[in-house]
Structure 1
């Protein structure tokens, strides 16, 4: 369906030409999936942009061909020879060739509802009424896992979580039933259960329509479960390609071998480290005299915290109900340790993180933080902090955001982004700012020359590294990491996870680590709490939780993790129901009826699980 031959792409920016692709060639047959894997900046997304002819203005196709054999028209079209803005290309783009973009928030208009944007995709390419377009949009919303498609149609992107926005992007790409689907990190922002459902959906659509898929991903577990063939890219070249099974079982190129060694996996030995392709700069331990005083007890205590949002509708914004995002959560984090928080998108993980950093207020309960300073050392309610105490808390607690592009100011250079926290808090002079900026970019695997660039000139993974560097600028005591490595390829992910561990050892940092990737959480966390529908349903040290999960939701999460091991494929059939995330459908004694919060039962060894409180009649 698509034949790419000797594709060359050059960038002409800043007076220095740069060749992004050096003669790339591959084929994608109908009803087959080619996985394109490699590090951020290797040329994967540029290849996809060339196929859709949406390259940046500074880029040009300077060699090769992109021949698309459209099954609808029976013609072979060299996309490289078409006018990027002409009618023939516009008919192909979005209709016959669709793309799922990596960053859903920057790909969706904030001024229009999700439904209008998805329906627009089908009305541009087919002669249908607005009512028919809405019907088709709601149908595809249901297929990608939205529980209430009619309500989602009238929802704005900012009202959805990162994972839900990605589902909307997938719906927009699939609504026209394209012949070729380019999926650029299609499940990056999705939790493992939703990821499995989306991958299953793509497989079903492929079987129904004969759709070809170009899958761009850094998740080798996804590749193992989806691809028929794969091509490995390194610095704009294909270094190894062939059948999936052959490359996984007998990799020949040292780059592919290194990628496979960098993947986090369950059952790693205590003290075992991931093997990144390039190690980050070594972190020297901080002298004891320079380390802040340790907290006497837990550095963070979350005490029975709840958060409720009021839904309003109509001209007069009448109250039409309440949504409980966080429900009676109690957790504690010892100093110098990592608490992993896992669960599906929309379960309340990010909301809880924002409550901890006092970005939003809690509806009930309290958050206590021990700064280890002064005569009044001990946990203090963050809601009571004011003035200098509040500014000190802001320095001590920093946040790594999930979406790397929307959290970086596009009008500021990397140097300005990294030094802005230092300027705001009055830390150091201009010389110290420069030294700190250089140190930060090098620690996250970038280079000194990147300080003069703007965020738009980096790949998605490189932007996420910048977000991590900025969070470290003020040398915080507690880092709230909201999916900090979700946008990173496996090699850089390994580098950053090792870096976070090294920083924790050197500086005594504490982490609240939010992620949907259980293998990543297993690698970095000491204790893990599993969250569903605002509740903590199970909590235990990681060795206990993963070896002996009790709650049905925890078991479903573990079953949905795609493994890079070909001998352990995902069981898509077992994951299709989706009932594992509905508390009312959990088996006894875990079932929670509406309005009941249940109770946490202690199983010993720090292992706790939530059970429902039911009458004898209900149990029967």
Structure 2
């Protein structure tokens, strides 16, 4: 049976200069999107990467317990097996000398799927994320695909691994409006159809309004507010949330 929840308790991340993330608690549920929002430098991306022990050099997770349905697990047990990752710069996640097919075959090989079954599974997963020209995509290298296509390829790899959770770190920030809309359509379809549980790190409150069920607001390494998405938009409690929402309303007004 697939796990229903993945959570991190009391996550703390430090550099040589001191703590950057202070006792963060986050919970992901299957079939829901939890948005983690905040200004640049608030610690939201570090929290996302820290859950899976994928922090940049010079930073360390000093505390934090991962729980799967309430039972302790290690980041190594979760990473790639139970939780996939989509990065802001997807090109950096791919080996530049390996084709998309090589990445897919390696992922499937780790799960005991090879040969014709692997090729069929890759085609199915690429179709699920809207990459219908799978033969061309699988032959391609990272430099030959757009950022939006690489974002969807990362989700396809998570589907191949059958991970029930996905951590997405600013996945739409470098995409144009059309690619962003296509990516979010795919993400929400997979949440609904496959019961994917998503941590969505973003500063874009429009993306939050469209996708999120729950929202956690970060400021200076702390969670300063948690609310259901409709409650947050109607009655923000923290100054950080009010500032983000005001900026969103000004931007939307300027585009009207």
Give the TM-score normalised by structure 2: 0.88
Report the equivalent of 1:101: 87
Which structure 2 segments of 5+ residues have no match?
none
1:54 and 2:40 are equivalent in the alignment: no
Report the equivalent of 2:10: 6
Q: How does 1:427-506 map to 2 (within 5 A)?
A: none
Report the equivalent of 1:214: 199
1:240 and 2:225 are equivalent in the alignment: yes
List per-residue Cα deviations over 1:197-252 (Å, max 9, x = no partner).
33232223223333211111111111101111101111110111111111111112
Report the equivalent of 1:36: 36
Segment of structure 1 superposing worse, 154-163 or 236-245: 154-163
- Tell me by how many angstroms 1:176 deviates: 1.9
What is the CA–CA distance in structure 2 between the aligned matches of 1:182 and 1:116, rounded to whole Å?
A: 23
Tell me the secondary structure at the aligned position of residue 232 of structure 2: helix
- Tell me by how many angstroms 1:22 deviates: 0.8
- Tell me by how many angstroms 1:57 deviates: 4.5
Tell me the secondary structure at the aligned position of residue 112 of structure 2: coil
More helix by share: 2
CA 181–253 in structure 1, closer or farther in 2 if over 3 Å, else same: same
Bigger Rg over Cα: 1
What is the CA–CA distance in structure 2 between the aligned matches of 1:258 and 1:120, rounded to whole Å?
A: 44
- Tell me by how many angstroms 1:262 deviates: 1.8
- Tell me by how many angstroms 1:188 deviates: 2.6
Report the equivalent of 2:127: 142
Q: Which one of the candidate residues 78, 85, 88 is aligned to 2:72? A: 78
Q: How does 1:102-501 map to 2 (within 5 A)?
A: 102-124=88-110, 126-263=111-248, 265-268=251-254
CA 119–188 in structure 1, closer or farther in 2 if over 3 Å, else same: farther
Residue pair 2:151, 2:183 contacting (<8 A) in 1 also: no
Residue pair 2:214, 2:228 contacting (<8 A) in 1 also: yes
What RMSD in Å do the two structures reach over aligned CA positions? Answer: 2.1
List per-residue Cα deviations over 1:32-52 (Å, max 9, x = no partner).
211000122211121112221
Tell me the secondary structure at the aligned position of residue 262 of structure 1: helix
Residue pair 2:108, 2:114 contacting (<8 A) in 1 also: no
Tell me the secondary structure at the aligned position of residue 256 of structure 1: helix
What is the CA–CA distance in structure 2 between the aligned matches of 1:253 and 1:54, rounded to whole Å?
A: 29
- Tell me by how many angstroms 1:182 deviates: 0.7
Higher relative contact order (CA 8 A, sep 6+): 2
Residue pair 1:183, 1:214 contacting (<8 A) in 2 also: yes
Tell me the secondary structure at the aligned position of residue 166 of structure 2: strand
Tell me the secondary structure at the aligned position of residue 224 of structure 2: strand
Aligned residues: 251
What is the CA–CA distance in structure 1 between the aligned matches of 2:27 and 2:150, rounded to whole Å?
A: 31
Residue pair 2:96, 2:143 contacting (<8 A) in 1 also: yes
Give the TM-score normalised by structure 1: 0.38
Residue pair 1:145, 1:194 contacting (<8 A) in 2 also: no
Which structure 1 segments of 5+ residues have no match?
70-75, 269-518, 520-545, 547-620
Residue pair 1:100, 1:170 contacting (<8 A) in 2 also: yes
Residue pair 2:21, 2:222 contacting (<8 A) in 1 also: yes
What is the CA–CA distance in structure 1 between the aligned matches of 2:166 and 2:219, rounded to whole Å?
A: 23
Tell me the secondary structure at the aligned position of residue 27 of structure 2: strand
Residue pair 1:138, 1:149 contacting (<8 A) in 2 also: yes
Residue pair 1:232, 1:240 contacting (<8 A) in 2 also: yes
CA 20–143 in structure 1, closer or farther in 2 if over 3 Å, else same: same
List per-residue Cα deviations over 1:464-511 (Å, max 9, x = no partner).
xxxxxxxxxxxxxxxxxxxxxxxxxxxxxxxxxxxxxxxxxxxxxxxx
Residue pair 1:31, 1:207 contacting (<8 A) in 2 also: yes
What is the CA–CA distance in structure 1 between the aligned matches of 2:141 and 2:117, rounded to whole Å?
A: 21
- Tell me by how many angstroms 1:158 deviates: 1.0
What is the CA–CA distance in structure 2 between the aligned matches of 1:57 and 1:194, rounded to whole Å?
A: 31
- Tell me by how many angstroms 1:133 deviates: 1.9
